[in-house]
């Protein structure tokens, strides 16, 4: 069971920290989230403008 938990953690970490995503401009999820928290009001306004 511990091996499964470790493997799952490693995969989730890779998914968020290393894997570039096309719809995020080939940035990682972690990069996009960090940018969001640096400028939350600008990002929120952009999201609302696209709705």
pLDDT, tens digit, 9 for 90 and up, residues 26-47: 999 999 888 888 876 665 666 6
C-alpha to C-alpha distance for 47 and 38, rounded to whole angstroms: 15
Q: What's the number of domains the chain is made of?
A: 1
What percent of the chain lies above the pLDDT cut of 70?
76
pLDDT, tens digit, 9 for 90 and up, residues 9-29: 999 999 888 999 898 899 999
> Which tops the pLDDT comparison, 51 or 3?
3
Polymer length in residues for the chain: 51
pLDDT at position 51 is 55
Domain of residue 8: give its range. 2-50
Across the chain, mean pLDDT equals 84
């Amino acid at each position: 069971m511990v091996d499964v938990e470790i493997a799952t953690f490693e995969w989730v970490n890779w998914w968020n920290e290393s894997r570039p995503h096309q719809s995020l401009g080939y940035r990682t999820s972690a990069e996009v989230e960090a940018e969001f928290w640096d400028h939350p009001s600008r990002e929120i306004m952009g999201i609302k403008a696209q709705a």
